[in-house]
Amino acid sequence: MFVRGIRGATTVEHNEENDILTATTELLHQIIAENGIIPEEIASVFVTVTPDLTATFPARAIRQMAGWDLVPLMCSLEIPVEGGLPRCIRLMVMVNTDKQQNEIIHVYQREAMRLRPDLSKLTKA
């Protein structure tokens, strides 16, 4: 068994609590679905936001999901690089799995698909 990182990112239109919580939930749900994981397999989740997102902690959305109350979560600010993608939420989900690195599906939604076009595919959100 390995610990693998699953990356994900999304954006929101506005710095509003509901937008941030909804986008975080949608992103994590897609990561879970694409990779077939359950909370018990998660080692931890690292969450970053760009400095323009101050309305709430995205981890609040994760803690409200059934079965995720014991998963270690950490929020931080993304490095404020000039010209970086604004209003962006990023997740690094560390999962215990037997999958090989090339079997991991990273999820990029909305404007965040520009971050890694090589890993992005058309998504529902």
60 annotated as belonging to a binding site for a ligand: no
The count of other CB atoms within 10 Å of the CB of residue 91 is 24
7 is catalytic: yes
Contact 93, 5 (CB under 8 A): yes
90 annotated as belonging to a binding site for a ligand: yes
116 is catalytic: yes
7 annotated as belonging to a binding site for a ligand: yes
Which position among 78, 87, 88, 110 bears the catalytic label? 78
Q: How far apart are CA 4 and CA 97, in angstroms?
A: 7
Which position among 4, 87, 88, 90 bears the catalytic label? 90
Which position among 13, 16, 63, 114 bears the catalytic label? 63
Which position among 7, 26, 87, 110 bears the catalytic label? 7
110 is catalytic: no
**DSSP code, position 92:** E
108 is catalytic: yes
87 is catalytic: no
Q: How far apart are CA 104 and CA 7, in angstroms?
A: 9
75 is catalytic: yes
Contact 12, 53 (CB under 8 A): yes
Annotated binding-site residue numbers for prephenate? 7, 90, 108
Q: Which residues are identified as catalytic?
A: 7, 63, 75, 78, 90, 108, 116
